[in-house]
Structure 1
């Protein structure tokens, strides 16, 4: 009988210890979550991070011809992209900048731009140039749209920037982040140095983190 009672007490003691241990673990985890949430809130109050602003401020399209014979697009497109860091205390390292040009959902060129550091309240201008030729598979409807845009003198081109960035807070560097920037553009064609349509209008880009 004594042996059975001893086992029962031991089992009860083990159960109590296990329950206390679980309770302690949950309390520690809950405390850590509270600390992290508080730290995040304090970070926001101090630094108030704002989204970087991207605008295509100028576009020069001097060649944009599609040949149905060999399905080649011949192009010469130069862009100016304004990158504005509105933050007072956060600097940004742009470790990789990949600029992609698209027409009707198909990429026709890619340029890798020079990495740089952008300080507080700073505006930097990127100037990717896309020039050459690329095989595109355009259906009859796509070709009709191209012909219509050629008649109008303005082409719908998309710019997409794939970035790899780090944030600098004082001496602390945080990263890596990989935002994607998308810009839907209406670019007038220049013929013999003159525009064949209305002038290009500054276009705001979408920022997707």
Structure 2
């Protein structure tokens, strides 16, 4: 008997075991996901840094400049005519408005000045005084004349008020100024701002016993 063992085929032992194959899971969202997230984060940080730097710069400028409010006063008002007949108002009003810039380092460009005159909320004239530049710690005078005639249909209440004012010869006239200004600090200039100034006046007709009193104007918000 031969000692050689017979070869056993696969039918006995079963199929040969193959090594397991490794599979890579595809990344979610493709290859852009991580890069896009990093780019967005970087842009957000840059914007935040710029905002913080600008905020600090504005705060430092404010600490250095300490801007004070520009002051407006009507120092003189001369009313030589104010008659209302046949729904038409005839008027002649001259005003001097003192503008005081109390700031040591800030100049002001008055690029546009629009002055409106109203009587009991009814506007009867609009004038455009000349633009100008105002230097540091200086005072300028805006002079304007409202003169002419205007069809002005007054309500019954306004007509009644006019009769009372006509009896005293002192007329409540409201002057509103719409401004377009820029501030200058050294070589820097700000963007255009649009403040509104309101002046409530009691103006006596010239030739009467009344005397006009200097009146402070306020800012409208």
TM-score by structure 1 length? 0.88
Higher-Rg structure is: 2
Q: Does the Cα contact within 8 Å between 1:57 and 1:82 map onto a contact in 2?
A: yes
Out of 129, 132, 144, the residue aligned to residue 160 of structure 2 is 144
Deviations 1:95-125 (A, max 9, x none): 2112111111121111211111110000001
Deviations 1:68-111 (A, max 9, x none): xx201011111110001111111111121121111111211112
Gaps of 5+ in 1: none
Q: Does 1:43 align with 2:56?
A: no
Q: Does 1:17 align with 2:29?
A: no
Alignment of 1:67-106 (within 5 A): 67=85, 70-106=86-122
Distance 1:195 1:95 in 2: 38
Distance 1:107 1:156 in 2: 12
Deviations 1:162-184 (A, max 9, x none): 22222111122223222211111
Paired position in structure 2 for 1:32: 50
Gaps of 5+ in 2: 1-20
Out of 184, 187, 201, the residue aligned to residue 185 of structure 1 is 201
Q: What SS class does the counterpart of residue 175 from structure 1 fall into?
A: coil
Distance 1:11 1:101 in 2: 67
Alignment of 1:169-184 (within 5 A): 169-184=185-200
Distance 2:32 2:117 in 1: 66
Q: Does 1:52 align with 2:53?
A: no
TM-score by structure 2 length? 0.84
Q: Which has the higher helix share?
A: 1
